[in-house]
Amino acid sequence: MDLEVRSVSKRFGATIALDNVNLKIASGTIHSLIGENGAGKSTLGKILSGVYQLDSGEVELAGQAVTIGSPREALSRGITIIAQELSLVPSRNAADNVYLGIEDHAGPWVRRGVIKDRFEELTNTSGIIVPNDRPVSALSIGDQQKVEILRALARNAEVIVMDEPTARLSVEETAVLKDVMRSLRNQGKTIIFVSHFLGDVLDVSDAITIMRDGKIIRTSKPSDETHDSLVEAMTGRKAGEAFPAKTPPNSPAPVLEVNGLTRGMQFADISFTVGAGEIVALAGLVGSGRSEVARAIYGADPFDSGEVKLQGSVIKISHPATAIENGIAMIPESRKDQGLILDRSIRENISLPYLKKLSQLLMKRREENSMVAENFAAAGIRALSSEMTVRSLSGGNQQKALFARSLAGHPTLFIADEPTRGVDVGSKRAIYELLADLARKGMAVLVISSELDEVVGLAHRVIVMQTGRIVAELVGDQISESAVVSAAFSMKQREGLAS
C-alpha cells in the first residue's frame, strides 16, 4: 500500500511545523525520517497516524485520497504509530497489552484462553518473542518496545510509524529491533522510522528523507549518503568535529567523594571522586548499576551504607530537593518521570525548583526572567518564546528544557544521565560544548551514557561498572572505545562473584 503525502502543511499557532511537504513512501520498505529537533518529523508521523489533523494538502493511500481524522480511522486504513513515549499498561502482561481494546467479548475464561492462543500465534508468525508471564513493567525497554510492535500487528497495521524507537535501547536491544524491522519489511509491512541515530538509519533504511524547518530537503538511498552528508543536509552546515577539545582539569580538589556506597542487590562498595573542572563518565552495560548509583547520590533512591561527601563534608540527602539545596543538579534518565510539567510554560518549568529561593528576593519576577532567559539560551532551546508550554516543544527541545532547569540553580555538581537522548546531532554538539564549558568554569560533571563515543569524546576519566561494582578506571590516554568495552565485558566481576 503505497503512501503519498501531497502539499501537506501544518501550523501550531505561529509555528509552521510542516510547510508544503511532498513525500512518497513505497509499500514494503523501511523509510527513515531524519532532521534536527523541531524539524517536523513527529508532526508528520502524527498526521499519518491520525493523532494530528493536517491544515491543507492530502494523503493518498494506494492512489486514493483518504481522510485520517483520528488514530482509529488511521488504524482502519492500516496505519499506526509507536510514539516517542511508550503507552503500555504497566501492570498487565504482554498479551493483555497487545489485545487491550480488541478483546473477544466471550466469557472471562474463554477470553483468557483465546487471548493466549492468539498471542502465541502472533508471536510465531511475526517471530517477535517476548515473555508473557509477568507485567510489562518488569520487561526490559527493548521487550516493551516489542510489545508495542505486536500491538500494532494485532491491529493489522500495514504501515507502522516508529518515532525514535531506539532512543532508550541498549546497543544489543537496538540490533534486535533492527532485525525485527527488517523481518516486518520482508513480510511486506511498511515502516516509517524516525531516528537521530544516523548509523542505524544508514544501516536499516531503504530510503531516507531529510527534513529541515518543516520542509523536505531530499529523499535518497542510503548508498548515496554518508553520515556527514546527512548531517550537512539536516543542519545546512558542514559537519565539524563531534566533540569539543578536552581541557584537562587543573584543580584536583574533589567536589564529590563517594565512599563505599552500597545498596542491596543493585550496587556495592562504590568509591570514586569527581573533581572541580572534571568530567567523569560512569560507563557500563545497561543494568550495570550506573543510573542507580547516580540516583542514590542525588537522593532519588536510598542507600544502605557508605557515604557521600560534597566539598569535604558528609551530606545526608534523602530527597532531590535537598540535593538541589546542596548544589547538586541531575538530569535523570527518563524524560517522562523527571517532572517536566507539560502544560506549564518553559519559563515556569525552569524556575519552579527555585521559586522558594527567588521569593526571598524582592525582585522576584525580574530575577526569574533573567534566570529563565540565561538558561533558555544556554541550553539552546528552540522555541518562539519561553511562554510556550513544554508540551508544545519537540522531544529534543523538551530535553533541553530539562537542562535549562538544572543549570538555573548554578550547581557545583552536575549529574547528567543520558544527556543527549533524543537530541539531534547539531544539538548534541551544543550540549557537549555546554558540558565542557561548565567543567572549564569549575563545575564537577558526572556523565552517564550508553553512547560510547560520547563517553570517550567527553570524559577526563571513565569509571566502568559491571553488575553493580566498579571494575575499571580509565584516565586520559587510556580512554578508548575498545578499552571501555573490554572493561564492561571483562570476566573480572563474574569471577569475583563466583569466588
Ligand X SMILES: Nc1ncnc2c1ncn2[C@@H]1O[C@H](COP(=O)(O)OP(=O)(O)OP(=O)(O)O)[C@@H](O)[C@H]1O
Q: Rounded to the nearest 5°, which phi and psi values hold at 270?
A: -90, 120
Instruction: Tell the burial category of 387 from Cβ atoms under 10 Å away from its Cβ (0-12, 13-18, 19+).
Output: exposed
Among 38-46, 362-370, 381-389, 443-451, which window interacts with Mg ion (CB under 5 A)?
38-46
* 40 contact, one of ligand X, Mg ion, none, CB 5-8 Å limit per kind: ligand X
Taking alpha carbons only, the member of 476, 472, 444, 483 closest to residue 248 is 476
12, interface contact from ligand X, Mg ion, none, CB < 5-8 Å by kind:
ligand X
Of 214, 174, 179, 181, nearest to 196 by C-alpha is 174
Residue 112: CB minimum distance to Mg ion, A: 37
From the list ligand X, Mg ion, none, pick the one residue 369 interacts with, judged by a Cβ distance below 5 to 8 Å according to partner type.
none
Q: How many helices (H) and strands (E) does the chain have?
A: 18, 20
Residue 38 found at the interface with ligand X (CB under 6 A): yes
Contacts of 293 (CB under 8 A, 6+ apart): 258, 261, 267, 270, 282, 465
The site partner of 39 among Mg ion, ligand X, none (C-beta below 5 to 8 Å per kind) is ligand X
Amino acid at 106: A
395 in contact with ligand X (CB under 6 A): yes
Tell me whether residue 182 or residue 212 sits nearer to Mg ion (CB atom). Answer: 212
Least gap, CB of 359 to ligand X (angstroms): 30
CA 172 from centroid of its chain's CA atoms? 16
- Determine whether 140 is exposed, middle or buried from the number of CB atoms within 10 Å of its CB (0-12, 13-18, 19+): middle
- Tell me the closest approach of the beta carbon of residue 15 to ligand X, in angstroms: 5
**Which of 23, 78, 24, 29 has the alpha carbon at shortest distance from 50?**
78
Per-residue x/- track, 12-31, ligand X (CB under 6 A): x--x-x--------------
Toward Mg ion, which CB reaches closer, 32 or 42?
Answer: 42
Asked whether position 42 contacts Mg ion by CB under 5 A, the answer is yes
Residue (15 or 170) nearer to ligand X, CB:
15
Does 42 sit near ligand X (CB under 6 A)? yes
Residue 364 or 382 with smaller CB distance to ligand X: 382
Q: How many residues bind ligand X (CB under 6 A)?
A: 18
Tell me whether residue 81 or residue 435 sits nearer to ligand X (CB atom): 81
Q: Which residue is nearest to Mg ion (CB)?
A: 42
Q: Residue 36 and residue 210: Cα distance in Å, rounded?
A: 9
Instruction: For ligand X, give the closer residue by CB, 270 or 425.
Output: 425
DSSP label at 184? Answer: H
Choice from 424, 435, 450, 464 touching ligand X (CB under 6 A): 424
The single residue among 214, 395, 419, 426 that binds Mg ion, judged by CB under 5 A, is: 395
Q: Does 399 bind Mg ion (CB under 5 A)?
A: no
Pick from 254, 275, 332, 396 the residue near ligand X by CB under 6 A.
Answer: 396
Question: By C-beta, is 210 or 415 nearer to Mg ion?
Answer: 210
Q: How far is the CB of 195 from Mg ion (least distance, A)?
A: 10
CB of 161 to ligand X, least distance (A): 11
CB of 395 to ligand X, least distance (A): 3
Quote the least distance from Cβ 163 to Mg ion, whole Å.
6
Q: Least distance to ligand X from the beta carbon of 202, Å?
A: 18
CA triplet 271, 275, 277: central angle to 5 degrees? 150
What H or E segment, with its residue span, contains residue 155?
none
Closer residue to ligand X in complex, CB, 97/392:
392
Distances (CA, A) of 406 to 135, 350, 395, 437, 459: 33, 8, 17, 15, 20
The residue (of 42 and 123) whose beta carbon lies closer to Mg ion is 42
Among Mg ion, ligand X, none, what binds residue 15 when CB lies within 5 to 8 Å by partner kind?
Answer: ligand X
Which residue in the set 8, 39, 130, 340 belongs to the binding site for ligand X (CB under 6 A)? 39
- The DSSP string of 192-249 is EEE-S-HHHHHHH-SEEEEEETTEEEEEE-GGG--HHHHHHHHHSS----SSPPPPPP
Q: Which is nearer to ligand X, 88 or 167 (CB)?
A: 167
8: Cα separation from own chain's centroid: 28
Q: In the block, which residue shows the cell 545498596?
A: 263
Least distance to ligand X, CB of residue 137, Å: 25
> CA-to-CA distance for 367 and 356, rounded, in angstroms?
12
What H or E segment, with its residue span, contains residue 369?
A: helix 364-378
CA distances from 260 to 308, 310, 417, 470, 491 (A): 9, 15, 21, 11, 22
Q: Counting Cβ atoms within 10 Å, is residue 143 exposed (0-12), middle (13-18) or buried (19+)?
A: middle
CB 228 within 8 A of CB 57: no
Nearer to ligand X, 282 or 393 (CB): 393
Applying CB under 6 A, which residues contact ligand X? 12, 15, 17, 35, 37-43, 392-397, 424
The site for Mg ion (CB under 5 A) is made up of 42, 395
